[in-house]
Amino acid sequence: MSERVRLKRFDPLPLAGEGLFDRQSDETQLVALTIETKYQFANPSGEIVHEYLLPSNADMHNAGGYVDKLVKYRDPALRKHLRHSGVNAVALFDERFPILKSRSPRLDFLLFEWIRIIRDQQNGGRVSLFDLGCTVCEHWDMLDAMLQAASDGREGAASALSYHGLDKSVMLLSIGRLLHSQVEPQHFQLMRADGAQFDFPPESFDLTLSVGVVNHVSDPRISLERMLSVTRHAAVLALWVTDEKKGFWGMIHSGLAFYVFSLQDLLGLEQIHGGRFYYTDYIPEEQGSQQKSLVGVGVERIKHIGCYHLVFSKRGAPPFQALPLAHAADRGKDL
Ligand SMILES: C[S@@+](CC[C@H](N)C(=O)[O-])C[C@H]1O[C@@H](n2cnc3c(N)ncnc32)[C@H](O)[C@@H]1O
């Protein structure tokens, strides 16, 4: 005999209006935080009746999540779709491939547009790309899918890119290497380092990329400065930003310190690095996929925070629709 059980989601930790870390206080308090990853099962009155613990290792979570993305990027059906529909904004919003409208492919599409222009300017030479927080180098695969689709298979990431990935995790880099063992090693270089502690000469890479990682390296402002310095044409970034006057430090669910940049932090870098920030998207944290990621930040403060899809261009306006970030500081953020 089998018994049917219908499970309903419940929220074990609703956000408070004001979070523990929202108050500007001079007091130095010690907060003990225990991080566990688990399923909790509650009865209708919210009482926990059963818990199922999962491993809490961030490298394992990232390996699972990002190898899954890479496998989806290699799916022959997805590649066929891009080849038939063309690599364009409409093709990214096809219901059959929901992965394509997620953040990373949308940012890869911006890189793809730049890569084509740089390739034209260089008469087909390789475009160098620095991927900060590269995980398993899954961006290489999405760019490969786009380049192959747009050239009817004549070129791909293996022939068009010189890829340099940096990550702090040996495990993720090893997986990244294994999954790209077919790529010539001189055009696929990986480096283990903290994201604020790399050192390349200015303008070493045509393009640079980082998806959220700059917010949580050891020194986010130095990391961003270094990224912009090593960029020759453009940097493509997802960054969490507040519209409050000053940026602030918080902590994310995995226990990592997290710096939320202010718009002024970013705009202050434009003159120093001879370029301009543009944005193609702004996703308010209230609508993000991990709304409670920032520990101790309440509903009111969350309203000021969001993720910008940014391009820092040293070569004038980007080759796609984007607004100068300075407009977001002056007016609303709507595109
Ligand atoms: C959630 S993933 C996001 C990056 C992913 N490649 C993407 O584009 O969406 C975070 C990655 O950043 C790496 N990471 C976290 N802190 C770092 C640090 N301080 N320096 C370098 N990499 C870091 C992690 O190992 C992981 O691969």
The tens digit of pLDDT for each residue in 149-179 reads 999 999 999 999 999 999 999 999 999 999 9
In testing the pocket of ligand 1, which one of 110, 135, 194, 290 has its CB within 8 Å of the most ligand atoms?
A: 135
Give the Å distance between the CA of 134 and the centre of ligand 1.
Answer: 6
Q: How far apart are CA 213 and CA 103, in angstroms?
A: 13
Ligand 1 pocket check for 62: Cβ under 6 Å: yes
Of ligand 1's listed atoms, the one at least distance from the Cα of 210 is 8
Model pLDDT for residues 11-38, shown as the tens digit of each residue: 877 777 777 677 665 555 666 778 888 9
Ligand 1 pocket check for 133: Cβ under 6 Å: yes
Ligand 1 pocket check for 211: Cβ under 6 Å: yes
Per-residue pLDDT, 297:
85
Ligand 1 pocket check for 217: Cβ under 6 Å: yes
Per-residue pLDDT, 5:
80
Ligand 1 pocket check for 135: Cβ under 6 Å: yes
Ligand 1 pocket check for 104: Cβ under 6 Å: yes
Of ligand 1's listed atoms, the one at least distance from the Cα of 217 is 19
Of ligand 1's listed atoms, the one at least distance from the Cα of 218 is 19
Give 10-residue mean pLDDT values along the chain (335 residues).
80 76 63 82 90 90 96 98 96 96 97 96 94 98 98 97 98 98 97 96 98 96 97 98 92 86 96 96 86 82 94 96 89 59
Q: How far apart are CA 203 and CA 197, in angstroms?
A: 16
Per-residue pLDDT, 4:
84
In testing the pocket of ligand 1, which one of 134, 168, 210, 226 has its CB within 8 Å of the most ligand atoms?
A: 168
What is the pTM assigned to this prediction?
0.91
